[in-house]
Amino acid sequence: MLFAITLCGYRVRCALEDDDGANLRFDKLCALIGDSDRTIHDLSRTQLGDGGLPRFNMPFELGLMMGAGRFGGPRQKQKRACIMVAELYALPRYLSDIAGNDPAPHQSRPGEIIRIVRDHLHRDPEGTNLPGAQHLRIAFDKFKRDLPGLAANARLTVEEAHARRGYKNFMDLLIGFRELLPAPAPGRR
């Protein structure tokens, strides 16, 4: 998801970008959601955590976004969300209150996540049509192959460039990778 958003020209917003331990996660989430016109939520990320209990961060964040859209001002009411799930009909089994939404199933396949995110965004921030999902998948495969070398060139271990545990380092490498790719041909607006 981070890869697709970044290669589509958007800035990823994530609570991990703020590592100030004095800031409450809820406040970080509220600020990020308030600042974002589009949000992407992968509800399959509710797997069992430590202690055998499910983690409901993604559904909670989606609820914050939906609440902002429902009760916020005019800008908040314009928010758009992409909701993803691993399996098409699994959502009602654990989040029945969201019935009536059409989440996009990705079968836990990175290529499908890339396609869903790309199709949701459709245009880059300047309004130009994005390259197709297959182009982004090829770039993703290259990034995965290049990541150990990119990390080494930045004097980081692969662990320090992990998408979660080394989030800021990972994003720096990902943005650098995007900037090294050939510019796409001008697209339609």
The pTM (predicted TM-score) of the whole model is 0.85
pLDDT value at residue 73: 92
Tell me how far apart the alpha carbons of residues 67 and 17 are, in angstroms, rounded to a whole number: 23
Tell me how far apart the alpha carbons of residues 49 and 5 are, in angstroms, rounded to a whole number: 26
Q: CA quadruple 60, 35, 8, 138: dihedral positive or negative?
A: negative
Say if residue 26 is exposed, middle or buried (CB neighbours under 10 Å; 0-12, 13-18, 19+): exposed
Among 1-15, 33-47, 164-178, which is the least confidently predicted range? 33-47
Mean pLDDT of the chain: 87
Q: 119-150 pLDDT, tens per residue?
A: 999 999 999 889 999 999 999 999 999 999 99
Examine the pLDDT at 92 and tell me if it is beyond 80: no
Q: CA quadruple 3, 9, 14, 20: dihedral positive or negative?
A: positive
